Amino acid sequence: MDFSRRCSDLVISHPQIPGATVDYLHTNLVHNASAYVSEIEYINHGPINVTDVSFCPVNVDVWLPTNTCHGRLMGLGGGGFDCGLYPENMMAMLGAVGEGYAAVSTDCGHTMEQDLSEWLLEFIGKSVAKSLYGVEPGYSYFSGCSQGGRQGMMLAQRYPTAYDGIVASSPAIYWAEILASGFWTQLVMNELVSYPESCELDYLTEMAIRACDDLDGVVDGIVTEIDSCKFDAFDLVGMHFPCGNQTMMLSGSAAIVASAAWQGPFSRGGDSLWHGVDVVSNLTSILSCQCSSGGRCTGLPVKFSSDWIRLAVKKNPDFDLDSITHDEILLIFGASVQECTSIIGTNDLDLSEFRNRGRKMLSFHGLADPMVPSQGTRRYYEAVEKRDPRVRDYYRHFEAPGLGHCWSPSGLYPFTIFNDMVAWVERGSVPKYLLASFTGENGTEHEGILCPYPERAVYNGMKTRCQGAATSAPQGRSTG
């Protein structure tokens, strides 16, 4: 097929979208693009070397490979407040066309009320691909992490026919709760008028990992048995440890702040409002502050949370976050959940239409995620399973020991999850476990497995295998 002639706005027809118009299409065939695309940019996949891929980018944004296509479409989700088409996402688009997918993503034109656009993506992508290739893609998949994971969940719940398979990783399912909770540790620091040093937080994380590493039987820097990990930061107050060239002593306030991050926000009466982060999470990525030369410090809340509270909850860009008290954060949390969950929450437990249409979904969540508490995804999965005990026929969730948010240098990262989804959809190959890679303490690469929740990976001295916690669980398979 002569793609140099067909990749033209004269040939590619404008998608017919009910209630919307596509004003113009811009196309310009790209020849022989090559790049290294890392797993951070191409989440749900391993790193790939893209070589000499040619594609036809259509401005909505659909990139149609012209020398590697195999008739499949990949919708790519966003991250943070971005719907899609931010720099890492553009690299993911290149990774996808490099692997022969018609890749489709969008910036949504705006940021927060984007949920309509993910099923439109599939619609637009199919329509435009058909114009170029003469046939529609045979299969459509969605791939996302964090915000993109939330979009994937929303698709399964509200638009269950849009995609054949969905990979919804580290999903921010309970968006309103997560973003309101994100300010909790800042409040604790402000009330203490004490801001822990990064060395103190890193020391606590390191000691938590050391305390719980061998609960899984292997001392490898990875904490698999996170539920049995009992670690009390207060036991270490007054201990000395190295910080650069100096020796530092752990302060009581560092123990209070770290414990607040692990516990999550609670009411005046001590009732938990939302999950905290896993005890082995990297706290310096969510807990920072800045101090003036005069010694006055203020917290630097994670931007997602501060923007969310100012713009979505308070609707006042000038709202003074430093003025927030414990009573105020309870009101903010309540307002965030009450006003925003119906718009952006994706915790609908009813996946029956998704199931009935034969669609499949996979998710993973790092057990050291400092941004989106892993317990939220577990909570959602358990609630769906309670409603439908056969959930694993169409949706499987994998907890990833030691992994941070979406990807991190340490922890078990399931680099084949997207391809496992394709195999499940197209060949009926049930993902009984996911292969995962991790970097050991001496810098060498290892492979492990992730098991479908609530099964867990158990090492018997020879092999690692999945062991079921539920009676309906399929028998785990050895990887050795």
Catalytic residue annotation: 146, 369, 405
Residue 212's H or E segment, with its range, is helix 198-212
Alpha helices in 308-405, H assignment, sequence order: 326-344, 352-356, 374-387
Of 82 and 216, which has the nearer Cβ to Ca ion? Answer: 216
Choices 200-208, 213-221, 311-319, 358-366 (CB under 5 A): range interacting with Ca ion: 213-221
Choices 77-85, 222-230, 245-253, 420-428 (CB under 5 A): range interacting with Ca ion: 222-230
Per residue, the 3-state secondary structure of 91-160, as one string, reads HHHHHHHHCCCEEECCCCCCCCCCCCHHHHHHHHHHHHHHHHHCCCCCEEEEEEECHHHHHHHHHHHHCC
How many residues does the structure list for the chain? Answer: 480
Name the residue with tokens 């994998």. Answer: 398
Give the pair of three-digit tokens for residue 421: 């989804």
Contact between 222 and Ca ion by CB under 5 A: the answer reads yes
Closest CA to 260 of 243, 238, 241, 283: 283
Of 218 and 300, which has the nearer Cβ to Ca ion? Answer: 218
- Residue 350 CB, nearest distance to Ca ion (Å)? 37
Give the pair of three-digit tokens for residue 144: 């996302």
Of 218 and 430, which has the nearer Cβ to Ca ion? Answer: 218
* Amino acid present at 470: A
Cβ neighbors of 158 (< 8 A, separation 6 or more) are 115, 119, 348
Task: Tell how strand 456-459 and strand 464-467 pair up.
Answer: antiparallel
3-class secondary-structure state, position 464: strand
- Residue 220 CB, nearest distance to Ca ion (Å)? 5
Window 86 to 145, contacts with Ca ion (CB under 5 A): none
Closest CA to 44 of 413, 446, 392: 413
- Residue 217 CB, nearest distance to Ca ion (Å)? 7
Choices 159-167, 215-223, 337-345, 361-369 (CB under 5 A): range interacting with Ca ion: 215-223
Contact between 209 and Ca ion by CB under 5 A: the answer reads no
Contact between 41 and Ca ion by CB under 5 A: the answer reads no
Choices 94-102, 180-188, 214-222, 463-471 (CB under 5 A): range interacting with Ca ion: 214-222
Of 173 and 222, which has the nearer Cβ to Ca ion? Answer: 222
Of 81 and 459, which has the nearer Cβ to Ca ion? Answer: 459
Give the pair of three-digit tokens for residue 103: 């890749």
Applying CB under 5 A, among 33, 85, 199, 218 the residue interacting with Ca ion is 218
Tell me the site size for Ca ion, rule CB under 5 A: 5
Helix pair angle (184-192, 326-344), 10° resolution: 170
Closest CA to 62 of 7, 2, 4: 7
Choices 173-181, 205-213, 366-374, 462-470 (CB under 5 A): range interacting with Ca ion: 205-213
Of 177 and 220, which has the nearer Cβ to Ca ion? Answer: 220
Contact between 278 and Ca ion by CB under 5 A: the answer reads no
DSSP symbol at 15: P
**Residues 73 and 62: beta-carbon distance below 8 Å:** no
- Residue 402 CB, nearest distance to Ca ion (Å)? 8
- Residue 382 CB, nearest distance to Ca ion (Å)? 24
Window 54 to 83, contacts with Ca ion (CB under 5 A): none
Give the pair of three-digit tokens for residue 385: 């399973």
Contact between 455 and Ca ion by CB under 5 A: the answer reads no
Applying CB under 5 A, among 216, 278, 369, 385 the residue interacting with Ca ion is 216
Cβ neighbors of 368 (< 8 A, separation 6 or more) are 223, 278, 280, 281, 282, 401, 402, 403, 404, 408, 410, 411
- Residue 210 CB, nearest distance to Ca ion (Å)? 10
- Residue 366 CB, nearest distance to Ca ion (Å)? 15
Of 218 and 330, which has the nearer Cβ to Ca ion? Answer: 218
Contact between 213 and Ca ion by CB under 5 A: the answer reads yes
- Residue 224 CB, nearest distance to Ca ion (Å)? 6
Of 157 and 410, which has the nearer Cβ to Ca ion? Answer: 410
Choices 146-154, 158-166, 209-217, 294-302 (CB under 5 A): range interacting with Ca ion: 209-217
Binding site for Ca ion (CB under 5 A): 213, 216, 218, 220, 222
